[in-house]
Chains A and B, each alone.
Chain A
């Protein structure tokens, strides 16, 4: 609210600083470019978050038991495994995958005509956990005793690195937003310093007639904050349009095609222009007071 009040129009105060060309264009362009990049960083962060959540939720509730045994023992070990699972707390259901399902799993690598029944493939048992989950270490010990050819794969080994990678990607997106904010602040500070230096005579006159530092600083701060807000709004709009025009993610969609906003996620980039204005406000104010403190 304070920022909005400070940005509200004060024609007299605004007019004391002459309109300047290149610092205005530089600030607007910088804010627009940074906002454009920030939209992609936010999209990356949100997409990574969705990916991590999807992997987490879709894999966390399932596990697989792989039974490798001589053909004559396969049925017995499979029955033993199912018996163990029926008495294992935390297992909601368990079922043996049939040949058709196993063929479907292998099809991407070996084609549709794989003679599954003629190959010494292990038997797969799919386990669905209940909300409490099962004790994987305890189950492994029981399986070792009842069905020596059974190996429990609770997906942890490859799920955790994937989720960690997605989480890191999300953090990378957020870090990129912070870096962009910092770079914006640095560039606006440079532009503000240039403007303050170019208007040294204006500042001298204002001090001479009794202007306080806050009055002088406000004239510069308003101008730069408005430019940053306008530039960032344009950059954000362009970024959102670019995201909207990306191809839709399909079922086998690669990660990049999922780089978009979903539902309320479209509201996130709308926070970029006000944040850019806040960054510009703080950067210009700090620069103005630093310069003014150097004057008597």
Chain B
């Protein structure tokens, strides 16, 4: 699905990481952890083509990122559900339209893909907020709205950047349950987080693997998490 081959990337001075190779295979569940500033967000951006690696290549659904046109990248992103760290929304549109945005930009309607916005919002616990504008939502509600938007196109891969960063523990568990459910449906999930308790809870439910960014490398972490 998404394959990083000897990828190096950095900003200005040096590399955040170098020679990273990793394959996100279908149905896999990954956690990406590491200290703040280690490059978790950068790693995710490389996975969905928002950043071009300094060296190496990223293969997205069989296409080299280096050879993909801007349209190719846009089309690939329709198969990737992204839950951004700061839950970017169009603040002038209600939650329901924000959630349906990935369909709108693809020229499709929820009916085209058999999706029911109301049902989806109810699934993430936002049925009452369908008509609300994003700025009026709490942090947790924004995270769940972002998740709903990420999965409305039934993407093959879900990339979530600190999806529980603004949530209390109860809400974090609820969001995790949603992601585990999606993984069981066959979706590939990669969650960047530094919440070790969340990782332990997830590992009790799914065979999740943990990647740690450290010292410029991305390595599989030990089983002691």
Q: B-contacting residues of A (Cβ < 8 Å)?
A: 12-13, 15-16, 18-19, 201-202, 204-213, 215, 292-293, 296
Contact = CB atoms under 8 A, between A and B. Distances in A.
Contacts of B50: 207-208, 296
A210 B97 contact: no
A211 B88 contact: no
Given A16-B104, A206-B105, A213 B70 contact: yes
| Chain A CB within 10 A, most for which of B91, B105, B106 | B105
A16 B93 CA distance: 8
Contacts of B149: 209
Contacts of B84: 208
Contacts of B51: 296
Given A12-B104, A16-B104, A210 B78 contact: yes
B68 to A, nearest CB: 11
Nearest to A202: B90
Contacts of A207: 50, 74, 77
B153 to A, nearest CB: 8
Contact of B77 (A16, A18, A210, A215): A210
Contacts of A15: 93, 97
A206 B75 CA distance: 12
Contact of B88 (A16, A18, A208, A292): A208
A201 B102 CA distance: 16
6 contacts: A16-B104, A18-B90, A201-B88, A209-B82, A210-B153, A212-B105
A11 to B, nearest CB: 10
Interface of B: 49-52, 70-71, 73-78, 82, 84, 88-93, 97, 101-102, 104-106, 149, 153
B111 to A, nearest CB: 14
A206 B73 CA distance: 13
A257 to B, nearest CB: 53
B89 A209 contact: no
Contacts of B77: 207-210
Contacts of A18: 90-92
| Chain B CB within 10 A, most for which of A12, A208, A210, A212 | A210
Contact of B75 (A13, A201, A208, A210): A210
Contact of B101 (A209, A213, A292): A209
B162 to A, nearest CB: 16
Given A207-B50, A293-B70, 8 more contacts: A13-B104, A16-B93, A202-B90, A205-B88, A205-B90, A210-B102, A210-B105, A213-B71
| Chain A CB within 10 A, most for which of B71, B76, B77 | B77
Contact of A212 (B71, B88, B97, B153): B71
A211 B97 contact: no
Contacts of B93: 15-16
A180 B104 CA distance: 38
Contacts of B101: 16, 205-206, 209
B106 A16 contact: no
| Chain B CB within 10 A, most for which of A13, A205, A213, A293 | A205
Contacts of A208: 50, 77, 82, 84, 88
Contacts of B49: 296
Contact of A16 (B76, B78, B90): B90
> What 4 A-B pairs are tightest by C-beta distance, nearest first?
A210-B78, A211-B105, A18-B92, A210-B77
A211 B88 CA distance: 14
B67 to A, nearest CB: 15
Nearest to B152: A209
A278 B171 CA distance: 52
B188 to A, nearest CB: 17
B156 to A, nearest CB: 13
Contacts of A293: 70
Contacts of A296: 49-52, 73
A202 B71 CA distance: 18
